[in-house]
Amino acid sequence: MKEQCPGIRFGLLPGVPDADGNSTTDPDGVRIGSARILTMSPDGTATAGTLYLHGRRSQFAVRILGATGRVRVLQFHQGTRTWRTR
């Protein structure tokens, strides 16, 4: 994956709030349940949570809805300081 997307890492860029608008001191980028393990099952359910990815200048959030396994991708816009669906 590093060859296809150089510079992409898990985490939050400094000063970027999480997708819920909270400031955080934990920049690791993994917000998946208390065990911090993402699971997906054959019936379509998954562990709910958010994974944060960033490059040098762009910040993204991949949100997983547990009940349906639905995935949404959000991008943080620095000018307006808001998260928007991609």
Question: What H or E segment, with its residue span, contains residue 83?
Answer: strand 82-85
Q: φ, ψ for residue 4 (rounded to 5)?
A: -80, -30
User: Which has the closest alpha carbon to 16: 79, 72, 86?
Assistant: 79
Residue 15 contacts residue 24 (beta carbons within 8 Å):
no
Q: How far apart are the first and last CA of the chain?
A: 21
Q: Tell me the per-residue pLDDT of 25-38, one tens digit each, with 9 for 90 and over.
A: 677 888 887 778 88
Mean pLDDT, rounded, for 8-13? 91
Query: Is residue 77 pLDDT above 70, yes or no?
Result: yes
Say what the pTM is: 0.84
Question: Taking residues 4-17, what's their average pLDDT?
Answer: 86
- pLDDT of residue 64 exceeding 60, the answer is yes
Question: What is the predicted pLDDT for the residue at 35?
Answer: 78
SS3 5: coil
